[in-house]
Amino acid sequence: MARLLTYNVHSFIGTDRKRDPRRIEHVIRESGARVVALQEVRWSARHEGAHALQTLARDLKMDFRFQRTATFAGEQFGLAILSDLPMRLVKGGPLPRLGPALPERRSALWVEVETAQGTLQVICTHLAVLSRRDRMAQAEALLGPDWLGGAEGPAVLMGDLNAGMRAPAYKRLAAALACARSDLPDRHPTFPSWMPLTRIDHIMGANGARLENAHALRTALTRVASDHLPFVAELAPPH
């Protein structure tokens, strides 16, 4: 089974306020994930003279695709999908925005990955944090023909939805998709990492994609590497 991981990496800045992409690298490597969806990725670290995302993918021996959502101080910021499996970019683009323009444009990134179970459509996203109306509009768009509604074959939606399990946007997506859940009573909260109270990071399956063994990764390292915990699930073989 291919393990999937979604992780808001907070520009590689940990809860100790130190910027260290190597900690994220260690978390991903230890997770055993083959397909990784990242949010709040900072493309470059000029003071290090290297592209942090490119270095991360290289050291993990993974390919990557990136979708810019904003530019801050000359550095790009956005979404990324990494995998050591064959991967093809399908599309990337913005999601609806009903409120005033903000520096970051909420977006999604779609790739096609070849797994041992067959072709998997993977969509990574990060929904609006301030506006419930925007989150709902973005959820509807992700279910529509431009995104999941246009995906042929098994698909997964991965990302930081900024919506707990009682939020309207989560309920709308969970009503149409198969949300990865734990078999244990613990709902595996992911935020904030040092004292997680709610799960806003989710993996959901569509078009027959079945997910198993879902849980947050709560270790000494994940509690400090970002302000979110990573959330993993395994893609189960088709019936």
Q: Lowest mean pLDDT of 69-78, 142-151, 220-229, name the range.
A: 69-78
Measuring CA to CA, which residue among 197, 123, 175, 183 is closest to residue 154?
123
Q: Which residue ranges make up each domain of the chain?
A: 2-235
Judge: domain 2-235, CATH 3.60.10.10.
yes
Enter the tokens of residue 34: 């083959």
Taking the CA atoms of residue 101, residue 99, residue 133 and residue 40 in that order, the dihedral angle to the nearest 10 degrees is: 10
First to last CA, the chain: 13
Average pLDDT over the chain reads 92
pLDDT digit string, tens, across residues 31-79: 999 999 999 998 765 545 458 899 999 999 999 999 999 887 778 889 9
Measuring CA to CA, which residue among 156, 84, 76, 161 is closest to residue 123?
156
pLDDT digit string, tens, across residues 62-72: 999 999 998 87
Distance CA 36, CA 33 (A): 7
| pLDDT score at 75 | 80
**Which residues contact residue 12 at a Cβ distance below 8 angstroms, ignoring those fewer than 6 apart?**
19, 20, 21, 23, 24, 42, 45, 52, 226
